[in-house]
A = this chain, B = another copy of it.
Amino acid sequence: MNFIENGSVTSPKGFKGAGICGSVKPSNTTKRDIALIASDVICNTAAVFTKNLVKSSAITVTQQNIENGKAQAVVVNSGNANTCNADGIEKAERMCELAAEALNIDKHDVIVASTGVIGQPLPIEPFEKSVPELGKIISEDGGTDVAEAIMTTDTVKKETAVSVEIGGKTVTIGAVAKGSGMIHINMGTMLSFVTTDAAISSEVLKSALSEAVEQSYNMVSVDGDTSTNDTLAILANGLAENEEIITRNEDYRAFTDALIAVCKSMAKKLAKDGEGATKLIVCTVSGAKTVIDAKGVAKAVICSSLVKAAMFGSDANWGRVLCAIGYSGCDVDVNLVDVSFKSKAGEIPVCKNGAGIEFSEELAKEILTENEIEIIVNLNDGDSNAEAYGCDLTYDYVKINGDYRT
């Protein structure tokens, strides 16, 4: 399995993309905000959505459209969430219609997604004007424009692709995602679209996606809020010509491992670019009694506002890590817990058997000043492991969210 340089959602065979500025938010006159992704042929598809009861109309329409496990295109916008609007369904359906017309496909084969402010009516004019335009310019080089078009408060584009040998054929998986606030564990967090030329049945694709989500997007938290618009969809068009994967065989394993790598890579990108974040925080837990305990502890640590603020201040305040472990609700013997901090500047143990040990504050500061920090927790009580991805809590998070609508 190899990561592809400058890989994107259009890296797999037969996928095209495009993104332009349609001024969905009237004040936006420069940034791309409407995008199309399309496959040359119909795809098997699987998707995961927010578990929030308040849902974007885009999700309702997408759920209907992909009920048969098939899709061929994605139409997506930033700048408006199309959530809590009386006419939201109508607008989401119109977005699908416009995409279908532009691509000459069936409107029920379109996945629609929106992201942005909740509760403001979605203006449809930008789509009437821009979607036909997108149909004309869509191309194999358009992946990066899609990545830009779905950004909201993201500061960097998030895309990747890997290739993997499956049954003698090269299969490619590409992905695009946007963060970067309202992100929390155990949901289909954020918007992300994954494309692949693998031949794989939609049923098995669903299982692969669910495996991957568990270890990646579901282990990310930026701020503990769960968006109303979270959508993760994968489209598989079969153009790699591998023997179709229809059971959980060796090929399934190879495909799923590659998908996990893609999703983990995207999860880290999301965490690192969390709203206002200056640092990626990875919490690695080992020695747990069960995987559920390992995950629970890892998530509690990266979700703790106090741990996050300490990481922002490069403060080796390991007591807060212990505190988060203590309230995680997991089966933990706190008297066995070891904690270290690690970055490319080195690694420093700070807690052994649940109590503080002497350490060099100077070295700790040096380690924590880096922009990718690992918090290593060994529960010394079993064989299970997990990893969770978060970011620091900064002034800028507050600034960005103090006046988002204007």
A19 is an interface residue with CB less than 8 A from chain B:
no
> B84, B354, B395: which contacts A319 (Cβ < 8 A)?
B84
A24 is an interface residue with CB less than 8 A from chain B:
no
Stretch of A37-45, A239-247, A304-312 on the interface side? A304-312
> B85, B323, B398: which contacts A398 (Cβ < 8 A)?
B398
Given contacts A119-B356, A224-B305, A305-B397, 7 further A-B contacts (CB under 8 A): A52-B326, A53-B332, A84-B319, A118-B320, A119-B319, A225-B324, A305-B401
Question: B228 contacts A306, CB within 8 Å?
Answer: no
A309 and B226 in contact (CB under 8 A), knowing A85-B355, A319-B118? Answer: no
CB neighbours of A348 from chain B (8 A):
none
CB neighbours of A322 from chain B (8 A):
54, 84, 118-119, 228
Question: A54 contacts B334, CB within 8 Å?
Answer: yes
Instruction: Give bound CA distance, A394 to B309, whole Å.
Output: 12
- The smallest C-beta distance from A334 to any residue of chain B, in angstroms, reads 5
CB neighbours of A315 from chain B (8 A):
402-406
A393 is an interface residue with CB less than 8 A from chain B:
yes
Question: B402 contacts A313, CB within 8 Å?
Answer: yes
- Report A161-200 CB contacts with B as 1/0, cut-off 8 Å: 0000000000000000000011010010000000000000
CB neighbours of A49 from chain B (8 A):
none
A96 is an interface residue with CB less than 8 A from chain B:
no
A54 and B323 in contact (CB under 8 A), knowing A119-B351, A119-B356, A393-B398? Answer: yes
CB neighbours of A317 from chain B (8 A):
117-118, 404-405
CB neighbours of A306 from chain B (8 A):
181-182, 223, 225, 401
Question: A313 contacts B401, CB within 8 Å?
Answer: yes
- The smallest C-beta distance from A326 to any residue of chain B, in angstroms, reads 3
Main SS at interface, chain A: loop
22 contacts between A and B (CB under 8 A): A52-B326, A54-B326, A54-B334, A83-B319, A84-B356, A85-B356, A117-B319, A118-B317, A118-B322, A119-B318, A120-B356, A121-B356, A187-B327, A225-B324, A226-B326, A305-B305, A305-B397, A306-B401, A310-B401, A315-B402, A395-B398, A395-B399
A309 and B84 in contact (CB under 8 A), knowing A52-B326, A324-B225, A405-B317? Answer: no
CB neighbours of A397 from chain B (8 A):
305, 309, 398
Question: B356 contacts A326, CB within 8 Å?
Answer: no
CB neighbours of A404 from chain B (8 A):
310, 313, 315, 317
Copy count, this protein chain: 2
A81 is an interface residue with CB less than 8 A from chain B:
yes
A228 and B326 in contact (CB under 8 A), knowing A119-B351, A319-B84, A398-B393? Answer: yes
Instruction: Give bound CA distance, A397 to B85, whole Å.
Output: 34
A325 is an interface residue with CB less than 8 A from chain B:
yes
A81 and B405 in contact (CB under 8 A), knowing A306-B223, A398-B395? Answer: no
A94 is an interface residue with CB less than 8 A from chain B:
no
Instruction: Give bound CA distance, A305 to B309, whole Å.
Output: 14
Q: Nearest chain-B residue to A313 (Cβ)?
A: B402
CB neighbours of A342 from chain B (8 A):
none
- The smallest C-beta distance from A401 to any residue of chain B, in angstroms, reads 3
A124 is an interface residue with CB less than 8 A from chain B:
no
A227 is an interface residue with CB less than 8 A from chain B:
yes
Smallest CB-CB A-B distances: 3 pairs: A118-B319, A313-B402, A54-B326
Instruction: Give bound CA distance, A181 to B306, whole Å.
Output: 8
Instruction: Give bound CA distance, A372 to B33, whole Å.
Output: 37
CB neighbours of A182 from chain B (8 A):
306, 323
